[in-house]
Amino acid sequence: MEDYLRKIVKMQKAGEPVGIYSACTGNEIVLEACMRHAKETGTVLLIESTANQVDQYGGYTGMKPADFVQMCEKLSECVGLPMDRIILGGDHLGPLTFAHYEEKKAMEEAEELIRQYVMAGFTKIHIDTSMKVASDDPEERLSDEIIARRGAVLAKTAEDAYKKLKKERPDAPHPVYIVGSEVPIPGGSQDEVDTGVQVTKVSDFQATVKAFQKAYEDQGLKDAWEYVIAVVVQPGVEEKDSGCTEYVREKAVNLMNAIKDYPDLIYEGHSTDYQTKFQGRSSAGTSGSVHADPVYEGQDGNAGK
């Protein structure tokens, strides 16, 4: 499983419409169902917990990262799906639930969050520093440079944690990283009114990649950039309290074409729950991963949850 997600990237870049969804949940019944499905279909299961579900204080599930791993191990044993067929990921890891603190404290908490996820054995790490903290100007847009700088700091924490884990578990696979955030809070929008979904502008996507790559280099993480496999974008889908916005391929044509200039990156899409089979088929041919909050990786560069 060490190179499974990176293999998907290579296959997509070769023109194969492959992908993977992410079961982004802490519900044992749902996770068991996902495991049974993976067992029956002979597929790999990607499970992710979000920063508000599972953190160093227990999150709203009452589980710390190591506890979540243990729960998944027990379920896998019960179902009969080997853990080597399961990939564990952390979603929106950053200062999300610590944004009420000023930057120093918020980032210290976020670093500990990342450290515990990596040490517990999570191998897909979504670093999300797109939210403002208490010391940020509420009237000004958070710049790509600030977001990327904070993200690179967390990536360094992840790399340091992995080095420590590797000493304890020599066979521990290196984590892969997802950067960026073009989505509402984990779990989908809670707006009662559907105000429409705006597809990510190509220029914004390009600026995000450029800013993060520079920030990684500034942190001495040039080698770690090799493990960045996806960028979160908004391809025009959303699951929210007011309903579901379905994917319309035509609206995302420019965005999908833009990923072709990045041979080692795909897109990740979030809140893709409840997309129809028809819509899923029409998006084949994009490059990416998907979350069905949930994650999908499609051939146009679309990855989704």
Highest mean predicted confidence (pLDDT) among 198-202, 210-214, 250-254, 283-287: 210-214
- What per-residue confidence (pLDDT) applies to 295? 38
The better pLDDT of the pair 272, 241 is held by 272
**Cβ-based neighbours of 161, under 8 Å, separated by 6 or more:** 114, 115, 118, 119
What does the pLDDT look like over 91-118, one tens digit per residue?
A: 999 999 999 999 999 999 999 999 999 9
| Amino acid making up residue 226 | E
Radius of gyration, CA atoms only, the chain? 18
Q: Is the pLDDT of residue 72 over 60?
A: yes
- What per-residue confidence (pLDDT) applies to 302? 40
- What per-residue confidence (pLDDT) applies to 33? 97
User: Tokens 């028809």 belong to which residue?
Assistant: 278
Q: Is the pLDDT of residue 298 over 60?
A: no
| The two structure tokens encoding residue 305 | 């949850």
The better pLDDT of the pair 245, 103 is held by 103
CA distance 300 to 281: 11
The per-residue b/e assignment along 69-97, b for 16 or more CB within 10 angstroms, e otherwise, is: bebbeebbeebebebebbbbbbbbbbbbb
- What per-residue confidence (pLDDT) applies to 239? 78
Q: Is the pLDDT of residue 301 over 60?
A: no
Q: Is the pLDDT of residue 12 over 50?
A: yes
Residue 120 banded pLDDT, cuts 50, 70, 90: very high
Residue 196 banded pLDDT, cuts 50, 70, 90: low
Q: Is the pLDDT of residue 300 over 60?
A: no
- What per-residue confidence (pLDDT) applies to 80? 98
CA distance 13 to 185: 30
Q: Is the pLDDT of residue 285 over 60?
A: no
Find out whether 75 and 37 touch, Cβ atoms under 8 Å.
Answer: no
| The two structure tokens encoding residue 255 | 């965005």
What does the pLDDT look like over 140-172, one tens digit per residue?
A: 999 999 999 999 999 999 999 999 999 999 999
pLDDT average, residue stretch 110-137: 97
**Cβ-based neighbours of 56, under 8 Å, separated by 6 or more:** 64, 65, 109, 112, 113, 116
Report the range of poorest mean pLDDT among 150-159, 217-226, 236-245, 260-269. 236-245
Output phi, psi for 119, to 5 deg: -65, -25
Output phi, psi for 249, to 5 deg: -55, -40
Q: Is the pLDDT of residue 283 over 60?
A: no
Residue 248 banded pLDDT, cuts 50, 70, 90: confident
Global pTM?
A: 0.88
